[in-house]
Amino acid sequence: MTPNSQNTPPNILTDDYGYQRNNDTIIQLSTLDEPIVLDKDFVFEKTTYLIYAEKIKIKNGVPEQLGKNIGLFCHEIEVEQGAVINVSGENGSRGANNAEDNGEKGGDGADAGKVWIFVQNAQEDMLKNLSVKAFGGSGGRGGDAVGNIKEAGAGGKGGNGGTYPPTSTGQIQVLLGSSAKSAVTELQDILRDSWPQAVLALSDGTTARGTKLGLSDEQKNVLDQYICIKNDLDTLAFRLQSFPQAQEARRSLSKILSLRAGQLQGPSGLGSLHRVLASVAATLEKMDSYTPQVETEIRRATEALEKDFVLSETDHSGFFGEDGLAGIFMHFHNRFVNEANRMTNIMKEQCRHITGGKGGPCGLVGREGKRGENGVDGKTEVVEMVFEKDSKTGLQATQVFTFPDHCQMLLNKANRLFFANGDEDRASASLLYARLVQLLSFQEHAWNQEALSPLATAYKALESEHATMLTASTMRSILEQARTRQNRVGLGQDMWGHDQDWSPRLSIWTYEESLKQSLSVLGGHEKALHQYETALQQNKDQLGVITQGISSLTRSWVEADSKVQELTHDNSPLRTAIFNIVSYTPRLKAMREEIQKDLKTMKLNSTKPEFPLAAVVDAIASLTNFDLNEKATGFSPKSPFKYYGALPKAGVSLFRSLYGSIEKYIEDNVFKPEYVLDQLAIAGDDLASVTTAFATRKNHTLAVDDPNSIKIMGAVGNIKKILKEFKELIPAHARAQLDTKLDKYLSLISTRNNAVLGYNANIQLLAEKLAEKACIDVQIKQLGQQKLTIDPSYMTIVNWMRTCRDRLRLSIMQTLNYQARAIRFWGLRQNLEVFDSAPLQDYNALSGKQESLRGEFMAALEQYAANVRSEWPRNENDQGKIRDLTSSELQLLKQPTELTQVEGEDLAQKGIISSLSDGNYRVHRLFVDLDPLKDQDTFGGHADIRLSEIRLWLLGATVDNTGSRSDRPKSLSINLQHMGKETIEDPARNRFFFSHETVALSFEYRVDEVPDFNHARTSAVQSKQNLGSDHHIGSTVDKNTLASIGPFATWKILVICGGGMNPGLNMDGVTEAFLEFRGSSRPVRFQ
């Protein structure tokens, strides 16, 4: 694809290509894999030609573009040997001869034009092939005079070369990004991390972003020795957990694991240190806390560490030494610094042709005239770009190197890959998002300075030329979308931040009105856009498109605001995730400690050194993005990087950039900084990859049970294989005893960690929607003010209109996704398309999908007609389905504990208590897990069970809430919470897995009327739950109708005493407790 002035096209913009001719500027955009080629046909009549492309190829023989301006901005550049870009000034003309008077002055040489080059990923071998010339034009010779009587004409002034700074006429500015410069920044960051993170970051010979290091055998050996010591310290720390007197030693080990590479000694003593640490760990394994030699062994380990491993506070040789861990880092740091400097020097050499033109000589005939002044020599600036959030290297660019429309095209390309949801597509999308984040890392600084930077000034200049518009808001919106979607790709969530089983409990009609309005706006927008694009080709008036665009923006704002409300209301996905994290974290910690205690005395089926017991159990507790149900598929996390580091924290910085503070969201209990993931890592397909990934954790002060501790992700199939391998480590005779406990442990890990993952994904989504609202606000305001002055023929208008259209399409697809998921929960429809992986579609396709979903809903109703529901119990005062609490469950429930802060906040939001400040609360808490197989005694023979009420009867509990009125009933109030993740079986015994918001229920009965099992009946109940009327059984279904929940889930039971609730509660006398379920079901279809 070669730019030229022959048969110049009109202004056009496709998904991957754009071309625009302004008053004096041509702008060409491309996100195609095919490069923009500059060759012998590269000719243009305008003053300035700016190319923004993924790839640019410069061939030998590019014509001179004397005095013109050329900007080449790309990700990669290919240059043929001998290629030249020449924007030198034209030479001045010779002055005219004069037969009667002085000779005419020679013409001045023209100034050189300007050349701007930006390459995001520059390669040294390409740069040395390119020469850039910006000589000033030579002044013309003066004209001849008459003989020696008159004076010969003066020579013309020489033109200026490619001068710098930008106040001069011409300039050459080269901005170079490179893998070498990126590696330098990475290595500097890693050196600030803990040494275990530093070792493991380099152990496979690449940086996190994939730059190859080329480790020598000697360097590999040194890294292996440090990894060995790291494993020794992990094992020793685990052993010390059994000894109360080792508290100080554990703190010391944690501190050592947090040291930086430069604080460690060289490798000479690591062999002997390893032997000491291994010996101490083996000895401690055989001791109990009463053995006198414990403290001696601990002291032996700490003395060895001080002698052979940790530098003294006054010794800084580790930071500068040539051996050891710091020496390896310095070796590669210096190598990449030299490589980056070499590229800079090459470009300075290749752009040295910037001398000013020579002043012209005087005429040949006549008295000697004056020689023209020489032009000013130019200066070349070559900038090594640092693509980091706080870097300001790009602010000195004197031409826009990231054009808004090109960035939008690149974002759209990434979005198309993201929406497709194929594994390779998502990996490619992540790469593009990462590149956009790098490209736009300067944006916040560009607009936040009192004096505009050269980059911001360049943007303003392009806006004044009507080459683009709404720059600041558009670029910020693109940056924020790229940040959050890159994170969401890595978090393994779908386009809208949900896992595969998520379902709303709303009916199909809930979404009908919203779809009707949005489809109407989309249809009008697509029609207006088609008419607009046709008018562009026919050079007709297009002003009306601006009005249509503003109307579409308004609808997009409404949709974005609706999504913000969905994410932040009292029972939103964010609040549900918070509730689940708080509820499951203590259980996870207790069970992990129990598992470790059970495994402590076992000899594992492995002699491999990468399987120290503590690391295996802790690493497994870090797994996420998996589900134990047999049909789980899920999305695979995809990243171009080995480790995600602190990428999820982009959500935090985004909140800060939008609002300056996130206090409002903290106060509303929506944003919990302590739940934002500290680190994400990617596992392979074996257990060793999990333990290795776990070892990369940066923060050793975080317990593995902490929500923000490192989480390890992988493809669902791989994680299932890893869990199988984990179980096989346990000897067969012990595995049978532990199997049930291990399954429960893994289920807890899945539920809690997936809640953490969902929370982080929804924080990203919330940040994106808030940013989208802010961007639309600015655009509506500016467009309303500028509507009559905007030239609609420019491609930025086309891009803006298409972005409005795509926002509407995406919002409609999301609503259809919710509607489909609701139908699946409502009607248990198999193979229902939920549109979680699809490219953006037009009005006709989306309308067709809406009709298809209506058909699915009618089919679900027909299923109910063919398999009639039954309600139970038959009579109001009969008992429903009974599930007794086991003796161990009852003992746990009878033990009082304190009400946690987050539980109190959640109960206050639900109106169950006023606030924690009401009084001193104690709570009796129990989790009960119900399963279709394990609870067949209660629910056997019933399918598609939906509950109308759930009750908990505590026989023997007493309260004293009557005060002085002994004739008043003594009422016991119990809080029951469905935790949101459940299984429902259809009549054919097909299992459906769902996750939704938590459901809080209250049950109250008169304890003095229930002395035994037979008296536990409706007549003693003081409040009636209303779940049953929510599920459709033949009555009218409207937008307020909800699908009822089923019993097969985790139920959280809270019996609260305090703040006026259950005064005088006494659970000591409880001898029997049971759950009663009332609802409806369909019969099982027996073959």
Reading the block at residue 1049, the tokens are 């889930």
CB count in 10 Å sphere of residue 420: 16
Q: Is 510 helix (H, G, I), strand (E, B) or coil?
A: helix
Range with lowest mean pLDDT among 181-190, 233-242, 249-258, 676-685: 676-685
Q: How far apart, in whole angstroms, are the C-alpha atoms of residue 577 and residue 760?
A: 9
Strands 36-38 and 48-58: parallel
pLDDT for res 887: 93
Tens digits of residue pLDDT in 850-882: 899 888 888 888 887 778 888 999 999 999 999
Flag the least confident range among 28-32, 125-129, 147-151, 740-744: 147-151
At residue 1034 the predicted structure's pLDDT band, cuts being 50, 70 and 90, is very low
Phi-psi region of 774 (alpha: psi -120 to 50; beta: other; left: phi over 0): alpha
- Alpha carbons within 13 A on the beta-carbon side of 418: 30
Residue 106, φ and ψ in degrees, nearest 5: -70, 150
Closest by CA to 600, choosing from 158, 240, 916, is 240
DSSP class of residue 101 equals S
| Over residues 64-89, mean pLDDT | 93
Q: How many CA atoms lie within 13 A of 694 on its CB side?
A: 26
Asked whether the predicted pLDDT for residue 609 surpasses 80, the reply is no
State the pLDDT confidence band at 901, using cuts at 50, 70 and 90.
confident
Scan for tokens 């994290």, then name that residue.
Answer: 581
| Res. 950 pLDDT band, cuts 50 70 90 | very high
- Block residue for tokens 């995600």: 644
Where is pLDDT greater, at 677 or 956? 956
CB of 605 closer than 8 Å to CB of 725: no
175 bridge partner residues: 118, 383
Model confidence at 538, pLDDT cuts 50, 70, 90, reads low
Is the per-residue pLDDT at 603 higher than 70?
A: no
Among 487-491, 528-532, 590-594, 674-678, top mean pLDDT goes to 590-594
Two structure tokens written together for 845? 């396709």
| Structure letter (DSSP) for residue 45 | S
Whole-number percent of the chain with pLDDT over 70: 81
Q: Identify the CA nearest to 403 among candidates 23, 795, 1, 47.
A: 795
162 near 170, Cβ under 8 Å? yes
SS3 assignment for 185-230: HHHHHHHCCCHHHHHHHHCCCECCCCCECCCCHHHHHHHHHHHHHH
Task: Say if residue 1067's pLDDT is above 90.
Answer: yes
- pLDDT for 659 equals 39
Residue with tokens 């229902």: 832
Q: Which two tokens stand for residue 342?
A: 């070499």
Beta bridge partners of 712: 623, 681
Angle CA 980–984–990, to nearest 5: 145
Give the residue among 385, 336, 340 at the shortest CA–CA distance from 183: 336
**Residue 579 tokens, joined:** 């509730």
Q: Identify which has the larger pLDDT, 590 or 289.
A: 590
| 784, pLDDT greater than 70 | no
pLDDT of residue 643: 38
Cβ contacts of 455-459, under 8 Å, gap ≥ 24: 455/394, 455/395, 455/396, 455/397, 455/398, 455/400, 455/401, 456/395, 457/398, 458/397, 458/398, 458/399, 458/400, 459/400
SS3 category, 2 = coil
> 189 and 139 in contact (C-beta within 8 Å)?
no
Has residue 563 got a pLDDT over 70?
A: yes
Name the phi and psi angles at 846, rounded to 5.
-70, -35
| Burial letters 265-293, b for 16+ CB under 10 A, else e | bbbeebeebbebbbebbebbeeeeeeeee
Give the C-alpha separation, 815 to 285, whole Å. 57
Kindly report the number of other CB atoms within 10 A of residue 96's CB atom: 14
What pLDDT sits at residue 434?
85
pLDDT digits (tens, 9 = 90+) for 156-169: 676 677 644 444 44
Q: Are 495 and 765 in contact, with CB atoms under 8 Å apart? A: no
Q: What is the DSSP string of 786-826?
A: HGGG--TTSHHHHHHHHHHHHHHHHHHHHHHHHHHHHHHHH
User: Which residues lie closer than 8 Å to 650 by C-beta, 6 or more apart?
Assistant: 483, 484, 486, 487, 764, 767
Instruction: Assign 569 to helix, strand or coil.
Output: coil
Distance of CA 1054 to the CA centre of its chain: 36
**8 Å CB contact between 922 and 900:** no
CA distance 394 to 671: 33
Looking at residue 504, what is its pLDDT?
Answer: 86
Count Cα atoms within 13 angstroms, Cβ side, for 363: 28
Alpha-carbon distance of 988 to 993, in angstroms, equals 15
Closest CA to 93 of 38, 157, 46, 42: 157
Beta strand 680-682 pairing with 711-713: parallel
**DSSP at 497:** S
Q: What is the DSSP string of 112-179?
A: P-EEEEEETT--HHHHTTEEEE-PPPPPPPPPP-STTTSBPPPPPPPPP-S--STTSS-EEEEEE--H
Decide if 635 contacts 723 (C-beta within 8 A): no
Calculate the average pLDDT of the chain.
Answer: 80
Please give the pLDDT value at position 567. Answer: 79
Note the pTM of the prediction, 2 decimals. 0.80
**Residue 124 confidence (pLDDT) above 70:** yes
Helix axes 270-285, 294-308, angle to 10 degrees: 170
* Alpha helices by DSSP H, 510-611: 512-537, 544-568, 573-599
Q: How far is CA 342 from the centre of its chain?
A: 35
Rounded CA separation 480/1031 (Å): 40
DSSP three-state, residue 694: helix
Q: What is the pLDDT of residue 655?
A: 40
**Who contacts 296 (Cβ-Cβ below 8 Å, separation ≥6)?**
none
Query: Which neighbouring-strand residues pair with 800?
Result: none
Region 52-62 average pLDDT = 95
Query: Looking at residue 130, what is its pLDDT?
Result: 92
The Cα–Cα gap between 573 and 497 comes to: 10
3-state secondary structure 585-650: HHHHHHHHHHHHHHHCCCCCCCCCCCCCHHHHHHHHCCECCCCCCCCCCCCCCCCCCCEEECHHHH
Rounded CA-CA distance 430/488 in Å is 9
Averaged pLDDT, 450-477: 82
Order of strands, edge to edge, in the sheet holding 643-645?
643-645, 680-682, 711-713
What are 276-324's pLDDT values in tens digits?
888 888 888 777 777 778 888 888 888 888 887 887 655 555 555 566 7
pLDDT (average), residues 187-210: 78
pLDDT at 640: 41
Structure tokens, 550: 């503003």
How many of the other CB atoms lie within 10 Å of CB of 794?
Answer: 23
Q: Beta-carbon neighbour count of residue 123 at 10 Å?
A: 16
- The winner for highest mean pLDDT among 22-31, 103-112, 427-436, 913-922 is 22-31
* Dihedral over Cα of 489, 494, 496, 497: its sign: negative
Report how far Cα 650 is from the mean position of its chain's Cα atoms.
7
